């Protein structure tokens, strides 16, 4: 894991492994909910979907993947140093 200042307003976190890697077809779907290459082996296909939603939604960043079969994968997460402000839930009608 490597973290660096991407800009004066954001940080970049790189996570690299030397695992099996992914084909371009798999890479296109890895952030889809319930997509798994391990069906029946305990994987729900939600891990990267949840990660994507947290990074791009709540934290206001982006996540990218570079991978090649038999050469591992590298995920790069870029986050602003200050997360965006979120609107509070509407409290109309509350007593």
pLDDT-based confidence at 89, cuts 50/70/90?
Answer: confident
Is the model's pLDDT at 91 over the cut of 80? no
pLDDT in tens, 21-43: 999 999 999 999 998 877 777 77
| CA nearest neighbour of 14 among 48, 65, 60 | 65
Do the domain assignments include residue 56?
Answer: yes
Whole-angstrom CA distances from 16 to 63, 66, 85, 87 are: 13, 9, 30, 34
Give pLDDT, residue 85: 85
Is the model's pLDDT at 93 over the cut of 60? no
CATH number of the domain residue 20 falls in: 3.30.565.10
**Number of structural domains, the chain?**
1
Do the domain assignments include residue 93?
Answer: no
Structural domain harbouring 25 = 2-80
* Cα–Cα distance, 58 to 77 (Å, whole number): 13
The SS3 of residue 45 is: coil
Helix ranges restricted to H, the chain: 24-27, 47-53
């Amino acid at each position: 894991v490597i973290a660096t200042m991407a800009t004066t307003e954001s940080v970049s976190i790189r996570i690299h492994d030397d695992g099996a890697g992914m084909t371009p077809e798999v890479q296109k779907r890895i952030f889809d909910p319930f997509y798994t290459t391990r069906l029946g082996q305990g994987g729900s296909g939600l891990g990267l979907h949840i990660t994507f939603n947290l990074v791009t939604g709540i934290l206001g960043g982006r996540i990218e993947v570079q991978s090649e079969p038999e050469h591992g994968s590298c995920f790069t997460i870029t986050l602003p140093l200050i997360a965006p402000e979120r609107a509070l839930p509407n409290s109309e009608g509350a007593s």
